[in-house]
């Protein structure tokens, strides 16, 4: 059994591009940064270490508990890392001169089209390792639900979902800024502004 996304004329796109549209950039999330940002690998690791340390300090049978805790931690972290790798591998973000296409999903692949003219601003969240999350603020209400878009959606914005490009190299930022400005000639591409303006890139809260 195959899905429509297993037979792609162009990787990451559900069909051939119409005349006049061309690919500006394509990329995938960095799976390690994705794991830290989405599954909070570092926080989970710290929690397991804390629990194991308490058991170790208790001594006696606590030593066995500490060993079991660390074994569970290794298994759990391996599962989270595997999920992050699979999700990042199945994701392709495509920027054309007209839209952003988000293709993602391991078990249930989906493809989301975001016209550049309907993106009012792009807010950046630095991940601290040369990668960024980019929130796309739409000028119209986004039609898909938060769960349908997860994890490619801004955290906790359940009532008003905002699409989010995850764990991308920060070198992509000027490319996106220029494309948004080209889609809206009245706007100038801005980087790291506190209050994003139309077609500008700002800093996410």
Model confidence pLDDT, tens digit, residues 83-136 = 999 999 999 999 999 999 999 998 888 899 999 999 999 999 999 889 999 999
Which has the higher per-residue pLDDT, 1 or 199? 199
What is the Cα–Cα distance from 158 to 162, expressed in whole angstroms? 9
- Range ranked top by mean pLDDT from 37-51, 62-76, 139-153: 139-153
When comparing pLDDT for 25 and 203, which is higher? Answer: 25
* pLDDT of res. 3: 42
The tens digit of pLDDT for each residue in 21-38 reads: 999 999 999 999 999 999
* CATH code for the domain defined by 93-183: 2.30.29
For tokens 């599962």, name the residue: 79
How far apart CA 72 and CA 76 sit, in angstroms, is 6
Check residue 59 and give its pLDDT: 61
Q: Assess whether pLDDT exceeds 70 at residue 198.
A: no
d(CA 146, CA 154): 8
CA dihedral sign of residues 195, 197, 200, 205: positive
Percent of the chain past pLDDT 90, that is, above it, reads: 51
pTM score, two decimals? 0.81
């Amino acid at each position: 059994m195959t899905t429509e996304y297993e037979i792609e004329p162009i990787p990451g796109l559900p069909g051939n591009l119409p005349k006049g549209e061309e690919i500006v950039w394509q990329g995938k999330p960095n799976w390690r940064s994705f794991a830290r940002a989405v599954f909070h690998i570092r926080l989970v690791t710290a929690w397991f270490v804390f629990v194991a340390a308490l058991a170790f300090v208790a001594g006696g049978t606590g030593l066995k508990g500490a060993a079991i805790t660390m074994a569970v931690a290794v298994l759990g972290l391996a599962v989270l890392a595997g999920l992050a790798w699979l999700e990042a591998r199945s994701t392709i973000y495509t920027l054309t001169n007209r839209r952003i296409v988000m293709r993602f999903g391991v078990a249930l692949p989906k493809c989301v089209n975001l016209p550049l003219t309907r993106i009012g601003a792009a807010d950046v969240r630095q991940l601290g390792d040369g990668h960024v999350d980019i929130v796309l603020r739409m000028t119209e209400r986004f039609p898909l639900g938060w769960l349908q878009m997860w994890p490619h959606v801004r955290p906790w914005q359940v009532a008003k979902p905002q699409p989010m490009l995850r764990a991308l190299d920060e070198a992509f930022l000027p490319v996106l800024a220029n494309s948004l400005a080209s889609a809206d000639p009245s706007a100038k591409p801005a980087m790291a502004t506190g209050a994003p303006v139309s077609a500008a890139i700002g800093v996410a809260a």
